Structure 1
Amino acid sequence: MPKTKFQEIIFTIMMVFMMVYFMICYNIALNVGSMTNQVFLDAFHELVIMGPIAFILDFFIIGYLAKKKAFQIVNLEKDNPFHLVIAISIVSIILMCPCMSLVATLLFKNAGSQIIAIWLQTTVMNFPMAFFLQLCFAGPIVRFVFGKIFNENRA
């Protein structure tokens, strides 16, 4: 886990890239009806827009709120420290998914007068994927790579 502001920036960039890129791939595949090689290329066009938005949102707002709430849930004197990591991840998903779904709805869905309905549908469709992507793939991979980059020793 990040120990300095520089490490926090690097960690956030890594996490945002993985989460946003694969969530974009997921949404494009949903929109076109199948997963194709073209989806992976098309996702980069949206990544240049969605990535910075997700970084700013996570680094300056959501990350702070997620940590604050996680420390209210987890008691580090009694609980395994990894419970804090899981709590931060889950609260981040709960906050980021609706926010990023709203951004995607506004920028890419041409929702018109159905903006609330389409935003809610997008959030509901994205939440399960964001949850499992974060907890099972992106989170563990980013923490592993981050630990290797910054030579964190694991007990």
Structure 2
Amino acid sequence: MPKTKFQELIYGLLMTFFMVLAMELYNAGLINHGLTNAITLHSLPDIFIIFPICFVMGFFFVDRFAPKLASRMVTPGEDKPIFVILARSCVTIAFMCPIMSFWATLIFKKPGIEFLPVWLQTVVCNFPMAFFWQIFFCGPLVRFLFRIIFEQRTSSQPNSQRPD
């Protein structure tokens, strides 16, 4: 969907924000055996820690090879667009979930010598949420917001070549 570097940046910021927000609330709920208003407010500052890490990992690393890997599963232009979107989302989740679980384990869980099993458990707990949130909620929401932001801007420009 993004066509320019600026659009890629906006798309990446939106996707990162909504994924980090959901995953932080999910993990706060897991740790506290449920989510309450107090726990939600207490977990929000963690977003400021994990958001920049997630953005850098996704925008500068995973987004550079995810489309190439996804194109091995589907062919943009030949396959239905939904299959291209799903392939790209699945590849991104497959890499981002372990990467971000690594950072969350390192920063928030302080596992010491038990790092590997704590990290693996974190990946296993986070993967279903990351997958379903991305496929059914975050991805569609961000694509919707992105279309609103950039289609209005281009369609409201003077002398546009729109058929009436």
Q: What is the TM-score when the length of structure 1 is the normalising length?
A: 0.94
Where 2:71 maps in the other structure, the secondary structure is helix
Give the equivalent residue in structure 2 for 1:20: 20
Q: How many Å separate the matches in 1 of 2:38 and 2:146? A: 29
Native 8 Å contact 1:21 1:43 kept in 2: no
Q: Deviations over 1:99-153 (max 9, x none)?
A: 0000000000020111000000000000000000000000000100110010179
State the Cα RMSD in Å: 1.3
> Where does 1:48-67 land on structure 2 (aligned, <5 Å)?
48-67=48-67
Equivalent in the alignment of 1:92: 92
Distance 1:9 1:76 in 2: 22
Q: 1:105–1:118: 8 Å Cα contact kept in structure 2? A: yes
Task: Describe how 1:1-155 pairs up with structure 2 within 5 A.
Answer: 1-151=1-151
Count of residues paired in the alignment: 153
Gaps of 5+ in 2: 156-164
Offset at 1:34?
Answer: 1.0
For 1:37-89, what per-residue CA distance to the aligned partner results, in whole angstroms no more than 9, with x for missing partners?
Answer: 12322232111110000000000111111111011211234311221111111
SS at match of 1:76: coil
Rate the CA distance shift 1:69–1:22 in 2: closer, same or farther, 3 A.
same
Percentage of matched positions with identical amino acids: 45
CA distance in 2, matches of 1:83, 1:24: 28
CA distance in 1, matches of 2:66, 2:100: 15
User: What stretches of structure 1 of length at least 5 have no aligned partner?
Assistant: none
Normalization by structure 2: what TM-score? 0.89
Counterpart residue identity of residue 137, structure 1:
F
